[in-house]
């Protein structure tokens, strides 16, 4: 076997780390990107390539969410995957001198947490979202569907639920 034709594992690892770094940089700058949705036409014959924004829902305890315009709350994230696709949810915490802004992600099976949602946590403990954190989700089935980016407290989703002091995001 010719040793020159093999790719060293360190090269593969460096490539993956480089790609993740580019994704992290893209997420850093995604805060300034604004998407303007076109006016819906009465007859839409062309399928949309971008998933519609999810309609936020509340868990079974019938709590009433607060509009995000005046929200500055910090709290957990309750996530519901109401799609028929496996989904990865990624978080990039807003940079601040007092926090670690390491990106994190969670994988959801189709319909996982679809009714009441699941509280997300980190390996080190509880997850707390703050205003300005970025959440994005994308399908892992090759369909190219994605949701977000959502800027906590600035975009319509996730929704702040003042009764239970948590952010709620439902993908559908």
Q: Where are the domains of the chain?
A: 7-32, 68-171
Residue 74: the pLDDT is 87
Report pTM. Answer: 0.59
166 strand-pairing partners = 76, 161
List the one residue out of 66, 57, 62 whose CA is nearest residue 165.
66
End-to-end CA distance of the chain: 51
Spatial contact of 138 and 91, defined as CB atoms under 8 Å apart: no
3-state secondary structure 45-82: CCCCCCCCCCCCCCCCCCCCCECHHHCCCCEEEEEEEC
Measure the CA–CA gap between 130 and 168, rounded to whole angstroms: 13
Residue 72: the pLDDT is 63
Measure the CA–CA gap between 167 and 65, rounded to whole angstroms: 9
Burial of 75 (0-12, 13-18, 19+ CB in 10 A): buried
Chain centroid offset of residue 92 CA? 9
Task: Give the model confidence (pLDDT) of 25-74 as tens digits.
Answer: 555 554 443 445 555 545 444 444 444 545 544 443 344 455 554 556 78
Residues of the chain with pLDDT under 70: 1-72, 96-101
């Amino acid at each position: 076997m010719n040793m020159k034709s093999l790719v060293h594992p360190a090269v593969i690892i460096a490539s993956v780390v480089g790609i993740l770094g580019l994704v992290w940089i893209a997420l850093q700058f995604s805060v300034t990107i604004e998407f303007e949705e076109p006016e819906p036409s009465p007859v839409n014959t062309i399928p949309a390539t971008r998933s519609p924004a999810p309609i936020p829902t509340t868990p079974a305890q019938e709590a009433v969410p607060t509009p995000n315009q005046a929200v500055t709350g910090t709290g957990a994230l309750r996530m519901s995957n109401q799609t028929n696709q496996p989904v990865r949810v990624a978080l990039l915490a807003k940079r601040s001198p007092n926090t670690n802004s390491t990106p994190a992600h969670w994988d959801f099976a189709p319909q996982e947490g679809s009714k009441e949602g699941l509280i997300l946590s980190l390996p080190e403990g509880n997850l707390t979202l703050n205003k300005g954190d970025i959440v994005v989700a994308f399908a892992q089935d090759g369909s190219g569907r994605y949701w977000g980016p959502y800027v906590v407290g600035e975009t319509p989703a996730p929704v702040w639920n003042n009764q239970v002091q948590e952010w709620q995001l439902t993908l559908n």
